[in-house]
């Protein structure tokens, strides 16, 4: 598992260096990506039922935004990936 995790992190690091011209180390990249946070806003619907959840990225620095766009994950919170028609986050 550790080798697989390291391999995936190294692939992301390579993409960040290639697409976003990232010049930091792998640890710096992981720290920078760790600062990008997704907030959940719950709104109670009128009447009974579960509250509606809306997801929004928190404010981020220019470097964080550049990495997010270069890696192509800026809209994963709104366009959730599906595997064989099943949502990954549900």
pLDDT of residue 24: 93
Place of tokens 């595997």: 83
pLDDT of residue 4: 96
Q: Considering the entire predicted model, what is its pTM?
A: 0.71
71 and 79 Cβ atoms separated by less than 8 Å: no
Question: Going by C-beta distance under 8 Å and a sequence separation of 6 or more, which residues neighbour residue 58?
Answer: 36, 37, 38, 39
pLDDT of residue 78: 74
pLDDT beneath 50: ranges in the chain? none
pLDDT of residue 74: 81
In the chain, the N- to C-terminal Cα span, in Å, equals 24
16 and 50 Cβ atoms separated by less than 8 Å: no
């Amino acid at each position: 598992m550790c080798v697989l995790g390291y391999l995936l992190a190294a692939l992301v690091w390579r993409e960040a260096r290639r697409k976003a011209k990232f010049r930091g180390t792998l640890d710096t990249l992981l720290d920078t990506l760790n600062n990008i946070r997704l907030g959940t806003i719950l709104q109670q619907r009128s009447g009974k039922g579960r509250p509606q959840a809306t997801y929004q990225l928190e404010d981020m620095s220019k470097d964080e935004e550049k990495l997010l766009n270069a890696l192509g994950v800026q809209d994963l919170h709104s366009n959730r990936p599906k595997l064989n028609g099943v949502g990954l986050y549900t």
